[in-house]
């Protein structure tokens, strides 16, 4: 039994964080919003870091890592509000193909030559795929109408898990933006962040985020180990991450005041992605129902002696 | 990361379970907050000690078993699975004990830890004063050096367990010229020393869990001071103790997972008349108790790898105290017109009512949640401080 994130895992996530902070700041989001939201140069940078091959086995030209590693990096993609379809292709599509033993496309995916649009019955759209265009509130999302009847539960679990991981990263970023604003905006002769009314709201967000993270990492590991209960843990993660991100989004705009309602302040990019991913791959009610079926339905052992059931 | 217990960990769980099933009292004990209940709980501490379960993580030389934190978590899970009573000595084993382990001399460890693990000496805390509650740096009780003794004069209040306990610990001002955090010293004292008067405080439920302590020129040997006098020594020791209190040990996840499970059972009994909101609250209770457990396992792993608990101890304290309150509130709503009954029709004690009343103290003790939110905002998020610091 070990819930430790290793130094290697944390170091890799930090490397990705630093890279994205340096190359994918808010000014990039503004450029993408104005000039077309995909950029081959950004994609190539992710490929060069090995991220498209993170979960691809070494024999197929990848790094052969696991879902916890991928979830940590998905959180970094959320933190940077990354526009490119890295998480869908590399952290959802790849493990789904692997689970089916479909290895043919993996070398091309690892090399960044192919992306994997993922159609599933839970979503009325497919992201970065073919079909009549649908407009998302998030200007970085390219959605096409899809009436797919693929209800594969493993694909759903992977999609929901990686959405949850991105949501905790998004929440972290929104909390950071609100904190930075509260440190600099002065009213009544002091930074508004010195007021307890502001402090306490932001501290409450920190509580929600910090207690959502271990749920996400635990769900990633449960899915990696192929545990029978993994779906419940993924749903738990999606609910916890959604609640943390939505609370932080609403708190962050409140802390920004009227400035938060403008296009000029960056926050809206992160809020819009949070709204989108909260609903994608099964919304809160869907996942709460799956927890309900397990916990009140009696299919999952509960109680102190069943922490990792 | 991996989620399977080792065969040794599973064998340990089986061992704890067998012992608990054989020894945990079949009937709930009388509340710890009256003489009869206190004596029952002390008796239970001694029963635990007879099985060498007093404090499993401590070295064998100090009355423990030398186990790691994962084994401690397994022990706690089985303890709460079996419905083990509250620990009369929690101020000792969970707060002072780890502090002595970190700051105490070898002589102090030998002298204080073993009787603590064996339940022979029960400890009270003496943090607050009438003028120093959330603002603990405002402590004014004095300890004046006189040869190889301190002479203590002043008053402590809200001292948990002090109505009946044997020994207490707290901070006293040893430098009369000092202000705020400086000049405070962490001192251990025998509550039965001449000059100490204890006045139990009647709580809202009518029982007396805590007390005021009046010190009138109480002589305490200087060897009872932990980590010495100095500019900020006492404050540092107290902050470490508070970290243990809010962080890992005081409220292990098993306690809340057991409550969540009882809440699920209660919901099933009342499902026909329960609202959808109550159903969601029950599910959130299970999810939050699980989240708390995952987080605690992660913190334990971090400490075992050489890390420390920092400002996240404040997040912990906010999380478990508000979870406990919301779980009991949900239970009270499910119980409806039965909620106010101190005993149910079958004569059993309404543990949900007692638990709800107790849960209201959680966001207040161990540093109010307002203070914890300030600490989170200032030390973790880096927001500016205001007022006196």
Query: How many CA within 13 A on the CB side of residue B141?
Result: 31
ipTM for the whole complex: 0.97
pLDDT (tens digit per residue) in B26-37: 988 998 989 999
> With bands split at pLDDT 50, 70 and 90, how would you rate the model's confidence at B331?
very high
Q: Report the residue of B3, B316, B382 to disrupt the A interface, i.e. the one with the largest count of A CBs within 10 Å.
A: B3
By C-alpha distance, the chain B residue nearest A295 is: B283
pLDDT category, B387, cuts 50, 70, 90? low
Q: How far is CA B4 from the centre of its chain?
A: 29
Q: Spell out the residues 6+ positions from residue B270 whose beta carbon is closer than 8 angstroms to its own.
A: B334, B335, B336
Name which of B34, B26, B23 is nearest B354 in CA terms.
Answer: B34
Residue of B nearest to A232 (CA): B287
Crossing angle of helices B7-23/B69-81, nearest 10°? 40
B247: pLDDT strictly greater than 80:
no
Residues of B in contact with A227 (CB under 8 A): 3
Taking CB atoms and an 8 Å limit, are A291 and B385 in contact across chains?
A: no
CB atoms B81 and A303 under 8 Å: yes
> Do the Cβ atoms of A251 and A201 come closer than 8 Å?
yes
Where do runs of H (alpha helix) occur along chain A? 7-23, 26-35, 40-48, 67-80, 86, 94-99, 106-110, 153-184, 196-224, 230-256, 267-279, 284-295
Residue B228: other Cβ atoms inside 10 A: 14
* Tens digits of residue pLDDT in B3-48: 999 999 999 999 999 999 999 999 889 989 899 999 999 999 999 9
pLDDT at A297 over 70: yes
Q: Is B326 on the interface with A (CB under 8 A)?
A: no
The predicted model gives B193-199 an average pLDDT of: 97
Q: What is the pTM of this model?
A: 0.96
Return the structure tokens found at B46. Answer: 């001694």
- Statement: residue B266 has pLDDT above 80: yes
Question: Using CB atoms, which residue from B254, B280, B319 is nearest to A304?
Answer: B254
Q: In the predicted model, is pLDDT for residue B239 greater than 90?
A: no
Identify which of A1, A210, A304 has the shortest CB distance to residue B80: A304
A204 CB neighbours in chain B (<8 A) are 318, 373
As beta bridge partners, residue A191 has: A186
For residue B150, the tally of other CB atoms under 10 A from its CB is: 24
**Structure confidence by residue, pLDDT tens digits, A156-172:** 999 999 999 999 999 99
B372: nearest CA partner in chain A:
A203
Tokens of A77: 């993609």
Task: Identify which of A195, A203, A303 has the shortest CB distance to residue B257.
Answer: A303
For residues A282 and A45, the answer to whether their CB atoms sit within 8 Å is: no
Residues of B forming the active site: 245
Give the pLDDT score at B44. Answer: 97
The Cα B18–Cα B12 span in angstroms is 10
What is the distance between the alpha carbons of residues B204 and A303, in angstroms, rounded to a whole number? 31
Per residue in A112-151, pLDDT (tens digit) is: 999 999 999 999 999 999 999 999 999 999 999 998 889 9
Give the gap in angstroms from C-alpha A99 to the nearest C-alpha of chain B.
Answer: 20
Nearest alpha-carbon partner for A219 in A166, A169, A165: A165
Residues in chain B with CB shorter than 8 Å from the CB of A190 are 384, 386
Please enumerate in sequence order all residues whose Cβ is within 8 A of that of B150, keeping only pairs 6 or more positions apart, or say none: B143, B144, B172, B174, B185, B187, B219, B220, B221, B222, B224, B225
| From B268, B301, B374, residue closest to A4, measured CB to CB | B301
pLDDT at B389: 38
Please state, in angstroms and rounded to a whole number, the distance separating the CA atoms of residues A238 and A164. 5
Model confidence at B230, pLDDT cuts 50, 70, 90, reads confident
pLDDT of the residue at B311: 79
CA-based diameter of chain A, in Å?
64
Among candidate residues A89, A79, A75, the one with its CA nearest the CA of residue A38: A89
How many angstroms separate the CA atoms of B84 and B79, rounded? Answer: 5
The helix (H) or strand (E) run that includes residue B152 is: strand B149-160
pLDDT digits 0-9 by tens, A48-102: 999 999 999 999 999 999 999 999 999 999 999 999 999 999 999 999 999 999 9
Q: How many CB atoms lie within 10 A of CB B101?
A: 18
Q: Residue B336 burial (CB < 10 Å; 0-12/13-18/19+)?
A: exposed
pLDDT in tens, B138-175: 999 999 999 999 999 999 999 999 999 999 999 999 98
Question: Which span out of B90-94, B235-239, B248-252 was modeled with the highest average pLDDT?
Answer: B90-94
Write out pLDDT tens, residues A255-279: 999 999 999 999 999 999 999 999 9
Confidence of residue B205 (pLDDT cuts 50, 70, 90): confident
The three-state secondary structure class of A231 is: helix
CB proximity B205 to A under 8 Å: no
């Amino acid at each position: 039994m070990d819930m430790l994130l290793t130094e290697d895992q944390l170091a890799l996530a930090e490397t990705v964080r630093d890279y994205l902070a340096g190359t994918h700041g808010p000014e990039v989001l503004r450029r993408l919003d104005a000039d077309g939201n995909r950029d081959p140069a950004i994609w190539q940078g992710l490929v060069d870091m090995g991220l498209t091959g993170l979960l691809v086995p070494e024999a197929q030209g990848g790094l052969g890592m696991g879902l916890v590693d991928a979830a940590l990096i998905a959180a970094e993609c959320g933190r940077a509000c990354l526009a490119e379809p890295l998480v869908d292709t590399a952290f959802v599509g790849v493990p789904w193909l692997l689970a089916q033993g479909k290895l043919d496309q993996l070398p091309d995916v690892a090399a960044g030559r192919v992306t994997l649009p993922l159609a599933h019955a839970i979503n009325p759209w497919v992201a970065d795929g073919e079909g009549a265009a649908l407009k998302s509130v998030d200007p970085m999302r390219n959605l096409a109408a899809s009436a797919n009847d693929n209800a594969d539960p493993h694909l759903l679990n992977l999609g929901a898990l990686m959405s949850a991981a991105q949501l905790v990263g998004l929440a972290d970023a929104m909390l950071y933006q609100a904190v930075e604003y509260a440190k600099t905006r002065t009213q009544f002769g002091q930074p508004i962040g010195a007021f307890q009314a502001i402090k306490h709201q932001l501290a409450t967000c920190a509580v929600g985020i910090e207690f959502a993270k271990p749920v996400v990492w635990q769900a990633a590991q449960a899915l990696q180990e192929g545990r029978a209960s993994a779906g419940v843990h993924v749903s738990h993660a999606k609910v916890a991450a959604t609640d943390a991100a939505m609370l932080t989004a609403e708190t962050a705009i409140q802390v920004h005041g009227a400035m938060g309602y403008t296009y000029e302040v960056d926050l809206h990019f992160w809020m819009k992605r949070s709204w989108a991913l909260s609903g994608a791959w099964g919304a809160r009610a869907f996942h709460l129902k799956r927890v309900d079926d397990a916990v009140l339905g009696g299919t999952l052992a509960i109680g102190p002696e069943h922490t990792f059931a | 990361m991996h989620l399977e217990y080792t065969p040794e960990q599973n064998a340990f769980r089986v061992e704890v379970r067998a012992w608990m099933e054989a020894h945990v009292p079949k009937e709930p004990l009388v509340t710890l907050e009256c003489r009869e209940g206190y004596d029952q709980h002390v008796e239970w501490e001694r029963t635990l000690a007879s099985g060498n379960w007093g404090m499993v993580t401590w070295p064998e030389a100090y009355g423990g078993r030398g186990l790691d934190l994962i084994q401690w978590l397994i022990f706690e899970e089985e303890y709460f699975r079996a419905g083990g009573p509250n620990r009369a000595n929690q101020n000792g084993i969970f707060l002072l004990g780890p502090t002595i382990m970190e700051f105490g001399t070898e002589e102090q460890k030998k002298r204080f830890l073993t009787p603590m693990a064996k339940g022979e000496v029960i400890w009270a805390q003496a943090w607050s004063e009438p003028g120093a509650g959330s603002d603990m740096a405002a402590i004014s009780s004095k300890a004046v050096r006189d040869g190889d003794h301190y002479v203590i004069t002043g008053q402590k209040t809200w001292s948990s367990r002090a109505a009946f306990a044997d020994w207490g610990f707290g901070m006293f001002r040893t430098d009369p010229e000092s202000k705020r955090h400086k000049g405070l010293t962490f001192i251990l004292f025998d509550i039965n020393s001449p000059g100490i008067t204890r006045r139990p405080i009647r709580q809202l439920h009518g029982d007396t869990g805590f007390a005021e302590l009046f010190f009138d020129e109480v002589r305490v040997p200087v060897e009872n001071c932990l980590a010495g006098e100095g500019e900020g020594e006492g404050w540092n020791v107290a902050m470490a103790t508070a970290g243990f209190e809010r962080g890992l040990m005081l409220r292990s996840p098993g306690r809340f997972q057991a409550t969540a499970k009882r809440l699920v059972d209660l919901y099933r009994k009342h499902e026909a008349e329960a609202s959808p909101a109550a159903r969601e609250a029950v599910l959130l209770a299970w999810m939050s108790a699980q989240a708390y457990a995952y987080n605690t396992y992660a913190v334990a792993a971090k400490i075992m790898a050489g890390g420390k608990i920092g400002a996240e101890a404040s997040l912990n304290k906010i999380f478990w105290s508000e979870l406990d309150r919301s779980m009991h509130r949900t239970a009270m709503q499910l119980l409806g017109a039965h909620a106010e009954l101190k005993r149910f029709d079958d004569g059993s004690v309404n543990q949900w009512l007692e638990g709800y009343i107790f849960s209201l103290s959680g966001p207040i003790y161990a540093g109010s949640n307002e203070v914890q939110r300030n600490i989170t905002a200032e030390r973790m998020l880096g927001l500016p401080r205001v007022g006196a610091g």
